[in-house]
């Protein structure tokens, strides 16, 4: 059983960690725990790859025609 009380804190920090919103001390503590805890490491890796995947598949290119329409909205010189 790898789970311990530090895993609770690690869980709480996971989202802000992946969002790069932890301060340096919190980040260091989280990384220190991740180094030694396979369970949390696995959870973090899953969340991180899910995050990357969501970003990739939800990123739709702007249609070129729209770009031209936006440029046409500029104030005439």
**Which parts of this chain interact with other proteins (CB under 8 A)?**
11, 14-16, 19, 21, 42-43, 45-51, 53-55, 57-63, 66-67, 69-71, 73-75, 77
Tell me the H-state helices in 19-37: 24-36
Query: Do 61 and 67 meet the contact criterion of CB atoms below 8 Å apart?
Result: no
Taking the least distance from each CB to other proteins, the nearer of 25 and 77 is 77
Q: CB 38 → other proteins: shortest distance, Å?
A: 10
Whole-Å CA distances, 53 to 12, 40, 46, 49, 67: 22, 20, 10, 6, 26
Q: CB 25 → other proteins: shortest distance, Å?
A: 18
């Amino acid at each position: 059983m790898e789970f311990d009380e530090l895993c609770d804190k690690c869980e709480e920090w996971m989202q802000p960690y992946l969002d790069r919103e932890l301060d340096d001390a919190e980040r260091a503590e989280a990384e220190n725990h991740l180094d030694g805890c396979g369970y949390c490491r696995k959870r973090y890796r899953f969340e991180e790859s899910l995050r990357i995947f969501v970003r990739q598949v939800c990123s739709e290119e702007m249609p070129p025609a729209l770009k031209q329409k936006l440029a046409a909205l500029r104030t005439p010189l």
